[in-house]
Amino acid sequence: MFKKLRIQFISIVMASVAIVLAIVFTGICVSEYQRSSNEVNEALSSAINRAAERSPRFDIGFGMGDLTRMLEGDAFEELGDIWRRCAFGQWWEASFLLLAFGGLRVGESLAVTPDDICVTKHEGVSGCVVHVRRQVMNRARGATDKLKNPQSKRVTVIPGKAGTRLLTLACKCDGWLSGDGFGNPNTQDRLNRAWVRAIEGAEGLERHPLRNLRNSFETNARWVLKMPPWVVEPMLGHAGRGVTEHYYDRPNAEMIADTMLESYASCMYDVGWTWTE
């Protein structure tokens, strides 16, 4: 009897020890996890801070303040200010207009000629239709008709004063709209360096990468101009996220132009941009 009780006692003690060890081990694991997470967060924050200190143009995201400003319609005013103070009259002005108001990629904006542009009108509102057919590859010279994806060969529409200005630049040009003066398109590197110098020299303007102008176009089209995604996605060279956009929607240039001009007519964000005249 005593032997049986001793065996039960030993079993209870061993079970208790096992439970205590499990609790201790779990506590150690949780503590180590928290410590590791803190170390990772500190390392990441330190890396971001160092990058920000080394480059004032370092951009880590899109803040709610930016979204609020865009929803209030101030985003176009900011683009207009950049155009007036930095891009107007520069060799890369056409590329700026194509990026900020047409949604082109940086390389695509350098590979547009006057033959790629035409006038469009809808219910008294005029705009500029741009056929995207080529691009200048990063770290390369010359244009290629090899685009990022099949959807990248497309049309986009620039309404209002930006479109009128682009047409004016095209009429004055007999080659690449952002050419190097020797019959060749400029490089992405030179365009980016020109952008950085211009933005850094303009007091009070936020510093963002040149490619972010394309993001601004998408946000403005969707949230300020209230354009449907089935129009915005093709203008950006995207296939669309849903089954309908991917397999069924095939809007032509006229449909896209009419929708853009109708949206612009309801907003007329560039009425006060007198410097373009």
Per-residue model confidence as pLDDT tens digits over 221-267: 999 999 998 899 999 998 766 544 544 556 788 999 999 999 999 98
For 268, residues 6+ apart whose C-beta sits below 8 A from its C-beta are: 160
Strands 154-159 and 143-144 come out as unpaired
Which pTM does this prediction carry?
0.72
88-140 confidence digits (pLDDT tens): 999 999 999 999 999 999 999 999 999 999 999 999 999 999 999 999 998 77
**From CA 48, how far away is CA 46, in angstroms rounded?**
5
- CA-to-CA dists, residue 230 to 129, 204, 239, 248, angstroms: 17, 36, 9, 10
Distance CA 277, CA 273 (A): 8
Residue 131's φ and ψ, nearest 5 degrees, are -90, 120
Contact call for residues 194 and 86 (beta carbons, < 8 A): no
Centre a 10 Å sphere on the Cβ of residue 184 and count the other Cβ atoms it contains: 14
